[in-house]
Amino acid sequence: MSKFVLAAQTSQSLSLAAMEEASRAGLRVADLEHLFLALVISDQAAGGSLRSMGIDIDGARRAVEEAHAAQLASLGIEASFPEAGRIVFHETDGYDWSKRAYDLIARSVDKDKNGDAAAVLRELVSEPSGLIANILERLGTTPQAVLEHLDRFDAAAERTATRPAKVKGRVSGSIETFVPAPIDGVWQFLVDPERIPDWEMSVGSIDHVVQGFTPGMVWQGLAPESRPDGKPVNVKPRFRRRSIELVTAHQPERIAWSFTYPDAPESSAILTEFILVNTTGGTQVQISKSWSRRPGWRRLVALPLRPLQKFIVWITLFQTGGAVSRAFR
């Protein structure tokens, strides 16, 4: 993966998580503390390093709240922040980075820095305001200890990194996401047909859900009529219905769903597969989507569209991963 692609994907994933965390407090500007929270749940080595130090999302949130309260008290202000609620980022708009957070992320791609989450974390723990150092102190550690642990963890992760195998004759894509929940709970969420609308953006509702879920069972889904922010969705009639088949359900490590459009028989079935691995602080989830390539002349016509196709696959995977993580935060 090129430095540009890695930095862009890192920025996108950290932006989503940080702004989701800001939205819990009714804020529209994500600052350094929200970037720190995003790094705690990052699927990259930076997140794994923090979690292996015993820093989880609940503890990090408490430390941020305590740091804010202490800062107000030091100014002689007796006030309390409103209690954080659920994530509403996907239902609202108007979010942005603070200038200092934006500049910090930009520095993570300077010169010989590659712009991954580890580079962002190294910049963050060295920021001069003292906010992150204060938060880390409340978590029982220091910026220096975080940097030293990250160096060891990052090197080990690079040695053991693997790439998913490509399947001949199929268009495919894969990403990983960290979910701050036990593996059994994540598996139950992903295998439940009623929860499909929570992570599959093209499905708004499921008809006639029956008890139990056995491979080979098929459900009918309907396209959403509106987005989470309330804006209407225009869907062509032949793409309104989806047949959804549970292909694989191996507890607790693997689930696969097949999605087809019964009113558009020329379209390919899309296979969405989840592979779950128990990890420190939660579950690492690999999400893959694949479908058959068009044969003959249609495949040749589609060749110039491959880069756009890859981008669309990544965006849909990114949305799915974000939705799964959000369901447990």
**What confidence category does residue 167 fall into, taking pLDDT thresholds of 50, 70 and 90?**
low
166, pLDDT greater than 90:
no
Q: Which residues, 6 or more positions from 250, have their beta carbon under 8 angstroms from its beta carbon?
A: none
The domain boundary residue, chosen from 122, 138, 160:
160
Residue that finishes a domain, picked among 120, 141, 160? 160
pTM over 0.85: yes
Pair (151, 261) in one structural domain: no
The residue that leads in pLDDT, 40 or 229, is 40
203 shares its domain with 290 = yes
The verdict on residue 281 lying in a domain is yes
Phi, then psi, of 137 in degrees rounded to 5: -60, -40
> Does 230 map to a domain?
yes
Query: Are residues 148 and 203 located together in one domain of the fold?
Result: no
Kindly state whether residues 151 and 178 are assigned to the same domain: no
What is the pLDDT, as a whole number, of residue 220? Answer: 94
Instruction: Check whether residue 321 and residue 175 sit in a common domain.
Output: yes
- Report whether pLDDT(314) > 70: yes
Output the pLDDT for position 50. Answer: 98
The count of structural domains within the chain is 2
Q: What is the pLDDT of residues 74-119, one digit of tens each?
A: 888 766 666 789 999 999 999 999 999 999 999 999 888 889 999 9
Least confident of 7-16, 277-286, 298-307: 298-307
Q: What is the pLDDT of residue 304?
A: 47
Q: State whether 115 and 262 are in the same domain.
A: no
Domain boundary among the residues 100, 128, 160 is at: 160
Q: In the chain, pLDDT over 70 holds for what percent of residues?
A: 89
User: Looking at residue 297, what is its pLDDT?
Assistant: 41
- 212 and 307 co-located in one domain: yes
Residues 135 and 174 in one domain: no
How much is the pLDDT for 305?
Answer: 46
Please determine, for residue 213, whether its predicted confidence score (pLDDT) is greater than 70.
yes
Mean pLDDT over each residue of the chain, to the nearest integer:
89
> 179 and 126, same structural domain?
no
Q: At 232, which CATH number? A: 3.30.530.20
pLDDT, one tens digit per residue, over 219-273 is 999 999 998 888 898 999 999 999 999 999 999 999 999 999 999 988 889 999 9
Three-state SS sequence of the chain: CCHHHHHHHHHHHHHHHHHHHHHHCCCCEECHHHHHHHHHCCCCHHHHHHHHCCCCHHHHHHHHHHHHHHHHHHCCCCCCCCCCCCCCHHHCCCCEECHHHHHHHHHCCCCCCCCCHHHHHHHHHCCCCCHHHHHHHHCCCCHHHHHHHHHHHHHHHHHHCCCCCCCCCEEEEEEEEEECCCHHHHHHHHHCHHHHHHHCCCCCEEECCCCCCCCCCEEEEECCCECCCCCECCCCHHHCEEEEEEEEEECCCEEEEEEECCCCCCCCCEEEEEEEEEECCEEEEEEEEEEECCCHHHHHHHHHHHHHHHHHHHHHHHHHHHHHHHCCC
Residue 256 belongs to a domain: yes
Confidence of residue 212 (pLDDT cuts 50, 70, 90): confident
Do 27 and 131 sit in the same domain of this protein?
yes
Q: How confident is residue 312, by pLDDT bands cut at 50, 70 and 90? A: confident
Instruction: Flag whether pLDDT at 211 surpasses 80.
Output: no
71 part of a folded domain:
yes
Are 228 and 134 within one domain?
A: no
- Per the domain annotation, does 259 fall within a domain? yes
Instruction: Tell whether 165 is covered by a domain.
Output: no
What residues make up the domain containing 81? Answer: 3-160
Residue 314 placed within a domain: yes
Q: What is the pLDDT of residue 298?
A: 47
Residue with more model confidence, 254 or 163: 254
CATH of the domain at 99: 1.10.1780.10
Q: For residue 2, is pLDDT > 90? A: no
Which pLDDT does position 301 carry in this prediction? 41
- Could you tell me if 222 and 314 lie in one domain? yes
* pLDDT value of position 96: 97
Lowest mean pLDDT among 82-91, 140-149, 256-265, 278-287: 82-91
Please check whether residue 56 lies inside any domain of the structure: yes
pLDDT at 307: 63
Mean pLDDT of 126-152: 96
